[in-house]
Amino acid sequence: PRPIELLESALSETKSEREKIQVKDAVVHWFKCDLRTKDNKSLHLASEKAKEKGVPLIGMYIVSPQDFEAHLTAPVRVDFILRTLEVLKEDLAKLDIPLYVETVEKRKAIPGRILELLKEWGASHLFANVEYEVDELRREAKLVRSCLENGIAMDVVPDTCVVSPGELTSGSGRQYSVYSPWYRAWVAYIHQNATVLDLFDAPSKNPGSAREQCAKLFESKIPSAPENKKLTGEEKKRFKSMWPPGEQEAHERLKKFCDERIGGYQDHRNFPAEAATSSLSVHFKSGTLSARTAICAARGHNTTKKLDGGKQGIQTWISEVAWRDFYKHVMAHWPYVCMNKPFKPEYTNIEWEYNDEHFKAWCEGCTGYPIVDAAMRQLNHSGWMHNRCRMIVASFLAKHLLIDWRMGERYFMEHLIDGDFASNNGGWGFSASTGVDPQPYFRIFNPLLQSEKFDNDGEYIRKWIPELKGIEGKAIHEPYERGKGKGAKKAGYPERIVEHKASRDRCLARYKEGLGRD
Ligand code: FAD
């Protein structure tokens, strides 16, 4: 069975036994990628359960250095999580709810340690939201059963997606592997199920006695980053000012985006020099904002309540947020994508290049293609990259350099503040043509045309490549070919590491060969 089925059967087979368990001294919510108080389904249910008997609700977060390593969590993301926990702890404390944070070195030890903590606290109920990665689904399926063996009811509820994986099947009962029909079904499902977009209230205040009963837990400290994920002092300062943490910040960012930019999203979203997108991905990933809340806010700005109607900008933005759901649905139903395998098995035989020099040039933003280099430098400096540029650099790595796309996928995870396995894997699969509903393999982005189309006056390039600041006019897109390299060479900007046409031809031949086509 697929890991999602393991969890579903663990939950359904234990349901009646779990329902018999009486609330004891405490109820616990396990925070993972849902670091918020508002519109958090599991936290809300945990709070209701605690209220039933007037016992305290305890929030728990487990930091695991080995888990960070296994998920290739970028240091910038670890830093963001830890800063967010500080804010969450304060938000919960206002409700007299403690946030207990503990470091558990080995990820395998997490379930055992959680059981010990639950027993120590006399907790009868543990609540958590579902995460769809393979390891997490398997872990939670086991934990549901071992909790029950210890007289504890564990509930794992769907929350992160607007429409949960498994809810949408085609007319013939199959899972969708193409976005457009899946999106139509997603829209129809929301229209038919009015409660899907109901938001969950923040938890109620704990009883007054909780402060005393949980005194030690309120003293729990947020640890500093583990050794393997430490930032330098300069990086810490930089990321702190670029990416303020917390739920309140996420809501303000969402409101500002809806008030000022969502209307123009359709027309402006592809131009990386413009701040036309929401930059909310970091909040969706850490769960400081729920996708439901975001869609409700967007809908609130529309003239129609139809998700696929009204203002084009709003409609398009909602359909982008839906991509996040789509890729989680893919991961849940084709879990082999989590195991380094392409979604389309026929792409397994492509012979990749493992050219270290080329890979290093790509990582460092020194390929001689300004749009590619600007984008990689944006990533390295800020932990984030514009979507159009993610597609350009991914296509360049897989197709122009013919480097195994999984090396790029890994590099992204190790550097993105919004690094999310499902979306990242989906984006790489799309760009390398190996994934679910990808662009066809013979569609190879021409970096020069992309540059001229989406950064016509070179503003984005000049921002991120100081060596090219002085290059004027169209030469910014290819300083050596058009500008004869004048300023660029002097400033130390490299010449192209590969030539476009030759790379294109090599790529087409190699993909055809791998696919066994003439
Ligand atoms: P907006 O344009 O404001 O979109 C709103 C939200 O919709 C985003 O925050 C995001 O949650 C979702 N979204 C938008 N586009 C996509 C998409 N193509 N796929 C999935 N969700 C989408 N997104 C991540 O969150 N994490 C990743 O690790 C990630 N890796 C990517 C790798 C590649 C190669 C590509 C091509 C795309 C990747 N994306 C990833 C998707 C997309 O680039 C980012 O979500 C987007 O750039 C974030 O900026 P924003 O919040 O301003 O987006």
Segment 478-491 shows an average pLDDT of 87
Q: 376-394: per-residue pLDDT in tens?
A: 999 999 999 999 999 999 9
- Are the C-beta atoms of residues 343 and 337 closer than 8 Å to each other? yes
Segment 447-456 shows an average pLDDT of 98
| Alpha carbon distances (Å) from 34 to 129, 249, 311, 323 | 8, 15, 30, 19
Q: Does residue 223 have a pLDDT over 70? A: yes
Looking at residue 306, its pLDDT comes to 87
Instruction: Give the pairing type, strands 57-63 and 26-30.
Output: parallel
Give yes or no for residue 462 CB within 6 A of ligand 1.
no
Q: Does residue 456 have a pLDDT over 90? A: yes
Give yes or no for residue 416 CB within 6 A of ligand 1.
yes
Looking at residue 518, its pLDDT comes to 60
Residue bearing the bigger pLDDT, 501 or 483:
501
CB atoms closer than 10 angstroms to residue 360? 10
Q: 200-215: per-residue pLDDT in tens?
A: 999 999 999 999 999 9
Segment 342-359 shows an average pLDDT of 95
Structure tokens given for 121 = 């606290």
Q: Is 323 a catalytic residue?
A: yes
CA 386, CA 362: separation in Å to the nearest integer? 16
Instruction: Identify which of 408, 405, 384, 375 has the alpha carbon closest to the alpha carbon of residue 510.
Output: 405
Taking the alpha carbons at both ends of the chain, their separation in whole angstroms is 38
Query: Does residue 208 sit in helix, strand or coil?
Result: coil
Residue nearest to atom 46 of ligand 1 (CA): 387
For this complex, say whether ipTM is above 0.95: yes
Distance 391 CA to ligand 1 centre (A): 10
Looking at residue 517, its pLDDT comes to 73
Structure tokens given for 500 = 């476009």
Among the residue ranges 119-123, 241-245, 513-517, the one predicted with the least confidence is 513-517
Give yes or no for residue 415 CB within 6 A of ligand 1.
no
Segment 256-274 shows an average pLDDT of 97
Looking at residue 134, its pLDDT comes to 96
Give yes or no for residue 418 CB within 6 A of ligand 1.
yes
Q: 93-107: per-residue pLDDT in tens?
A: 999 999 999 999 999
CA 514, CA 442: separation in Å to the nearest integer? 13
- Helix 3-20 with 134-149: angle, nearest 10 deg: 20
Measured CA angle at 145 (ends 141, 151), to 5 deg = 145
- Are the C-beta atoms of residues 403 and 354 closer than 8 Å to each other? yes
Q: Does residue 191 have a pLDDT over 90? A: yes
Chain Cα centroid distance, residue 98:
27
Question: For a pocket test of ligand 1, which of 423, 425, 437 has the largest count of ligand atoms closer than 8 A to its C-beta?
Answer: 423
Instruction: Identify which of 86, 125, 126, 121 has the alpha carbon closest to the alpha carbon of residue 214.
Output: 121
Instruction: Identify which of 237, 231, 292, 476 has the alpha carbon closest to the alpha carbon of residue 369.
Output: 476
Instruction: Give the pairing type, strands 123-129 and 26-30.
Output: parallel
Q: 485-509: per-residue pLDDT in tens?
A: 778 998 999 999 999 999 999 999 9
DSSP state of 415: H
- Are the C-beta atoms of residues 482 and 433 closer than 8 Å to each other? no
The contacts of residue 340 (CB under 8 Å, 6+ apart) are 406
Q: Does residue 25 have a pLDDT over 90? A: yes
DSSP labels, 142-188: HHHHHHHHTT-EEEEE--SSSS-TTS---TTSPPP-SHHHHHHHHHH
Structure tokens given for 77 = 């993301």
Which of 182, 186, 362, 428 is catalytic? The answer is 428
Looking at residue 483, its pLDDT comes to 75
Q: Is 320 a catalytic residue?
A: yes
Q: 425-446: per-residue pLDDT in tens?
A: 999 999 999 999 988 999 999 9
Chain Cα centroid distance, residue 481:
38
By 3-state DSSP, what share of the chain in percent is helix, strand and coil, each rounded to 5?
55, 5, 35
Q: Which atom of ligand 1 is nearest to the CA of 428?
A: 34
Q: Is 45 exposed, middle or buried (0-12, 13-18, 19+ CB in 10 A)?
A: buried
Distance 371 CA to ligand 1 centre (A): 19
Q: 293-338: per-residue pLDDT in tens?
A: 999 999 999 988 889 888 999 999 999 999 999 999 999 999 999 9
Q: 60-104: per-residue pLDDT in tens?
A: 999 999 999 999 999 999 999 999 999 999 999 999 999 999 999
Looking at residue 218, its pLDDT comes to 97
Residue nearest to atom 47 of ligand 1 (CA): 387
User: Where does the pLDDT of residue 290 fall: very low under 50, low under 70, confident under 90, or very high at 90 and above?
Assistant: very high
Segment 458-476 shows an average pLDDT of 96
| Alpha carbon distances (Å) from 445 to 139, 297, 405, 502 | 40, 35, 15, 14
Among the residue ranges 45-49, 122-126, 215-219, 513-517, the one predicted with the least confidence is 513-517
Which of 8, 48, 274, 387 is catalytic? The answer is 387
